[in-house]
Chains A and B, each alone.
Chain A
Amino acid sequence: MKRRTFLKGTVASGMLSVAASAGLLTPRRVLAAWPETAFTAKSIDDALDTLLGDTTLATSGDIKIKAPEIAENGAVVPITISTGMAAESISVLIAKNPSPLACSFALGGSTLGFVSTRVKMGETSDLIAVVKSGGKLYSAKKTVKVTIGGCGG
């Protein structure tokens, strides 16, 4: 991956999203309330602060991350997050991605603390699962080794 062009790309898409939030968004989009700034945030703390309004994470043994130790293809890393807590939301962050926040799930009252999906990872990195339960944030970590990055370039 060419680091220079890669960085440029990140900045350009950042600009684009600023333009989008500045006025190109229709009110219909605002209703959907997709957390734009959280997804474009460059640090984990910024992402968590805008998404969940808190950055204090308590490590929990009750969050299980199922992900491969070594991902051959960073473009498709299957992950499963499960917890026995009454979770309000589950968020997944990838520490070394250009924007760490990968996905966030708001769970209904009858929904179990379980989500499974596939994410892209640019390089070997920590995978962080953040569970919101009873107004507090709990987290668990797992390192995934990536042999081929999934961010293109």
Chain B
Amino acid sequence: MAKKKIRIRAKMKGDVAEVKTLMSHPMETGFRKNKKTGKKIPPHFIKEVICEHKGNKVLVASWGVAVSKNPYLSFKFKGAAKGDTITISWNDNTGESATADAKIS
């Protein structure tokens, strides 16, 4: 894959931290065919996304092929403060992975 990018935006809203994230990933189902060659495009998708705050896993997402290309994920959690770091990492079915972190604003 060309780019392994995770974009994170985390913001405090009252006592709740709202996290929004976008990952660059093809999320290939394995059902599609290459129209020119007629060959099947092998599946390539994110299996697991782990979101951590201060060493605690606040959210672990298990995904199948039905999650859209360049996945978007948003969630909310309590117990965070401005300036805290949130770490998000994913791994996919081909063994690739990526990690990124962001400060909560």
B11 interface residue per 8 A CB criterion:
no
Which chain A residue shows the least CB distance to B63? A103
Interface of chain B, main secondary structure: strand
Q: What bracket does the count of chain B residues touching chain A fall in? A: 20 to 34
Q: Is the CB of A112 within 8 A of B30?
A: no
Q: Which of B47, B63, B67, B77 contacts A108 (CB 8 A)?
A: B77
B66 touches A94 (CB 8 A): yes
The residues of B that contact A16 with a CB separation of less than 8 Å are 30, 43
Chain B stretch 1-57: residues in CB contact (< 8 A) with chain A: 16, 29-33, 40, 43, 47-48, 56-57
| Chain B residues whose C-beta falls within 8 Å of the C-beta of A97 in the assembled complex | 66
Check B64 against A103 for contact (C-beta < 8 Å): yes
Ranked 6 nearest A-B pairs via Cβ: A152-B32, A102-B66, A116-B74, A39-B64, A118-B68, A111-B77
Q: Which residues of A contact B (CB under 8 A)?
A: 5-6, 9-10, 12-13, 16, 32, 34-35, 39, 75-78, 80, 94, 97-99, 101-108, 110-112, 114-121, 150-153
